[in-house]
Amino acid sequence: MGKYVTVSVKLPQELKEKIEKLGIKPSKLLRKAIEEELRRREIESIKGEIMKLKPALDKITIERLIESIREDRESR
């Protein structure tokens, strides 16, 4: 990952007490939650880009796709 930075968060006292009582390490929990949220949003962004390309991709037939792959393989 490289360099690390510190990110702080304010929690209600009750939540902090529950975390401590259960022996949960907040740094690991928060890191995992942030990574999962980033992954989810990146996937949503990619899905959006695919939907923008869908009309153009729908115009390409399977036959044309197969033909292009064969041409590429033969040119190697």
* Domain boundaries, given as residue ranges, for the chain: 13-74
**Which residues in 55-64 are b (16+ Cβ under 10 Å) and which e?**
eeeeeeeeee
Other C-beta atoms closer than 10 Å to the C-beta of 40 total 10
Give the whole-angstrom CA distance, residue 74 versus residue 76.
5
Question: Residues 40-60: pLDDT tens digits?
Answer: 999 999 999 999 999 998 888
| Token output for 57 | 């991709």
* Dihedral angle, C-alpha 27, 29, 31, 32, nearest 10 °: 160
For the question of whether the overall pTM of this predicted structure is more than 0.75, the answer is no
Give the whole-angstrom CA distance, residue 27 versus residue 6.
10
Mean pLDDT of the chain, nearest integer? 93
Q: Is 1's pLDDT higher than 80?
A: no
